[in-house]
Structures are given as structure tokens and as C-alpha cells.
Amino acid sequence: MHQERIARVAQQLAQTDHDIIFVAPGADLRYLTGYDALPLERLTCLAVRTTGEAWMIVPTLEKPSALAHKVPDMGIELLDWQETQNPYSLLMSAVGQPQRPLVNNLMWVEKAFGIQGASGTNVELAGKLLSDIREVKTPDEVTYLHEAGAAIDQVHMNMHKWLRPGRTEREVGKDIAEAILAAGHVTVDFVIVASGPNGASPHHEVSDRIIQAGEPVVVDIGGTMASGYCSDCTRMYVCGEPPAEYLEHYAVLMAAQEAARLHARPGVSCESVDAAARNVLESAGLGEQFIHRTGHGIGMETHEEPYIVIGNKSLLVPGHAFSIEPGFYFAGKYGARIEDIVTCTEVGIKSANNTTRELVVL
């Protein structure tokens, strides 16, 4: 599987006027090789030529780990460097002089400049070369995303155990973090518990604020499974009776989120999915309170292509996986967001998150 992915990168590369691509640790490298090398100060880097030839350089102390991940079995030539060697020079000696090298977008600039320095050639961004491949998920990847969705659903279904008035967001968040691991994730990627006015900040995390009765609470949580695939799901809670006005807004938000889910299918543009949700909120006078795009792609990263945003005219195809998460935010008062991860099928979408989208009254 990984060998095929690398071959595909080489094929795509051959259709450009670039001769080699360098890929640093991160989701791109995990996708291409299955090797979850840590992004460290020491250089680890994959290089793929248009011919399909591939090399990976790792620090000597990571060599056992690279071997355990069967790097050489994928047809990748494994190089290692000692603490006192220059890894960039070693890498260039192995791959030969690059003419127009690409680097993956999320490489640290110090590594990109290291490659630039050792090769004596300017590097350019891989741009969509890798994301065009990664954004269309195989059936196995779709399964992994639905497994991740089921795991985070488990956590939402148990929210009544932790979310209570009188507890702080941080206390609740700590319990949730433990539950994310207990549900089968290997890492906790983020825990947002945003009560009352904190809910007006879409990416508020947790604070020492004490949750009050009658306050809406945004709970947006996610982690990464052993498969390497991520979960991300937002549900809304309230302990006791919410303000009447909030319930009216919430009904609009549910309709907006449903409109986007009903609209999404192969052949429609990403921006039209955004519009489907946005139109409902705008019609109800909540357009200015919806201050972000409707969604983001997801896979081995929580945020990746395709982005469900105004201006993205790319068409959905089966295998695309993304969030549908409209929201509204009133500064100083409260906020709301409903988020599902969905995968595009041959005829529509399938949701990886399946707990109720209603406001959950605890």
C-alpha cells in the first residue's frame, strides 16, 4: 500500500517540471510510509524522484525504529547519520543534485533551508501535489474515520457523567481527555469545553470558569486512533433550562447543519456546501454570527483538504472526508456549533458521528 502511494507521488511529480520531492515527518510522511517519525530537531526526511526511486535519511538512533516500520521493505533506501555528521550533505550525496526540488508544505523552514543550502537550489512548495492524493480516501481509510467517529461518539454519550454545574471547564476537560483515551484513541488532540460566554470563542479550550446552570456549553473534542486517523465532533450541552432566545437560534443552526448534510454529494462544489449552511443562518439573521467556514477535510490530520469554504470550487468526489460544522457566536453571551465528520459516498454522504444533534439537556 505504501509502495503504491510513493509510486503515485512519483507519477504525479513526473507530470510537473520538478525532479524530486522531500517530505519531513508529519502526516504526509505517515501517509506515504506508515512511519510516524517524531518531528524532531534532528533531520528525518524522505526523498522521492520522478523515477520512483526513494530514500529516507534518519538519525542513527532512529534507525531501529525506521527498520521496525519496514522502511527498506517499501523499496526505500535507508540512510542514517551520526550526531556529528551533516545530514543534508549526506542526503544530497545519495539522491544526486536536485534541479527543481519540492518540499512538503508543513516542513519546518529550517529543514527546507537546510535542503536548499546543501543542494544549492531553491526549494518550492509541493502545494496540492500531496494533498490531491491524500484527500481522496480509500475504503479502508473511510473505515478508519468511521471507527474514530464511533470512538468520539462514545465520549459524547457519556458526557452526563462529567458535565455538571459547579465544576470548572478544566475539571470536565480532564475527565473528557481520559475518556478520549479510554474510548480507544491513542492521543488526545484537543478538548474544548466552552461554557456560556466562552462559547463565543470558537477555539476556546478550557478555563477555570465554573459552569453555571442554564448555560449552553460547547464541547468540541477529538483524538487520533491507532490507525493514525482522527476524530473531531462537536455537540452542545446545557445543564438546566437555556435562554428561550438561544433555543430559537439553535433550531436555526440545526436546520443549517442539516441543509449542508443534505446538499453534500459527489459533483457539488465545496463552497456550495458552505453556502447551504450559510444561507439558512443568513436568512434567519444569524449570518454575521457565523464567523468561520463550514468545514475542513480530515484524515491523518484533523485539518486538511478539502476545505468547505467560500472560494473552494473543487467538486466533492467519493472518498472525500470532511467536517460539517456551522455555528453562531454572540460575544459576551454564548455560542453554538454542531459538527459531524462525514465521508462522501457514491450518492451522498455518510456521517461518522451519530449521537443526537439536538441540544442535550443534562
Minimum CB distance to a copy of itself, residue 34 (Å): 14
The CA distance from 66 to 77, in Å, is 11
- 216-225 and 233-238: which strand pairing? antiparallel
Q: Do residues 220 and 337 make contact, with C-beta atoms less than 8 angstroms apart?
A: yes
Minimum CB distance to a copy of itself, residue 114 (Å): 9
The CA distance from 40 to 37, in Å, is 8
User: Does 103 help bind a copy of itself (rule: CB under 8 A)?
Assistant: yes
Minimum CB distance to a copy of itself, residue 319 (Å): 20
User: Does 293 help bind a copy of itself (rule: CB under 8 A)?
Assistant: yes
Minimum CB distance to a copy of itself, residue 226 (Å): 8
Q: Which residue has the cell 478520549?
A: 180
Which helix (H) or strand (E) segment holds residue 188: the answer is: strand 185-195
Q: Restricting to residues 201-260, which ones interact with a copy of itself according to CB under 8 A?
A: 201-204
Nearer to a copy of itself, 40 or 361 (CB): 40
Q: By C-alpha distance, which of 135, 127, 114 is closest to 16?
A: 127
Out of 11, 51, 60, 138, point to the residue binding a copy of itself (CB under 8 A): 60
Minimum CB distance to a copy of itself, residue 354 (Å): 25
From the list 103-111, 144-152, 251-259, 317-325, the region that binds a copy of itself by CB under 8 A is: 103-111
Q: In what order do the strands lie in the sheet with 304-308?
A: 304-308, 295-297, 321-324, 340-344, 349-351
Q: By C-alpha distance, which of 53, 58, 48, 52 is closest to 22?
A: 48
Going from the C-alpha of 308 to that of each of 81, 119, 311, 332, the distances in angstroms are 42, 38, 9, 28
Out of 7, 14, 94, 106, point to the residue binding a copy of itself (CB under 8 A): 106
Nearer to a copy of itself, 56 or 360 (CB): 56
From residue 331 to residue 350, what is the string marking binding to a copy of itself with x (rule CB under 8 A)? x-------------------
Nearer to a copy of itself, 306 or 360 (CB): 306
From the list 11-19, 159-167, 255-263, 305-313, the region that binds a copy of itself by CB under 8 A is: 305-313
Out of 11, 40, 73, 75, point to the residue binding a copy of itself (CB under 8 A): 40
The 8-class DSSP code of residue 116 comes to H
Nearer to a copy of itself, 11 or 60 (CB): 60
The CA distance from 32 to 111, in Å, is 19
Out of 213, 310, 315, 317, point to the residue binding a copy of itself (CB under 8 A): 310
From the list 1-9, 150-158, 302-310, 340-348, the region that binds a copy of itself by CB under 8 A is: 302-310
The 10 Å Cβ neighbour count of residue 280 is 22
Nearer to a copy of itself, 105 or 269 (CB): 105
User: Does 308 help bind a copy of itself (rule: CB under 8 A)?
Assistant: no
Q: By C-alpha distance, which of 179, 302, 196 is closest to 243?
A: 196
Q: Restricting to residues 272-291, which ones interact with a copy of itself according to CB under 8 A?
A: 291
From residue 168 to residue 187, what is the string marking binding to a copy of itself with x (rule CB under 8 A)? ------x--xx--xx----x
Going from the C-alpha of 190 to that of each of 187, 219, 230, the distances in angstroms are 9, 10, 11
Cell of 151: 470512538
The 8-class DSSP code of residue 339 comes to B
Classify the C-alpha dihedral 248-149-178-355 as positive or negative.
positive
User: Does 123 help bind a copy of itself (rule: CB under 8 A)?
Assistant: yes
Q: State the amino acid at position 56 in one-letter form.
A: M
Nearer to a copy of itself, 166 or 311 (CB): 311
Q: Which residue has the cell 543550502?
A: 117
Q: By C-alpha distance, which of 192, 168, 200, 194 is closest to 332?
A: 200
Q: Given the rule CB under 8 A, which residues bind a copy of itself?
A: 38, 40-41, 59-62, 64-65, 68, 83-84, 103, 105-113, 123, 125, 174, 177-178, 181-182, 187-188, 190, 200-204, 291-293, 296, 303-304, 307, 309-311, 329, 331
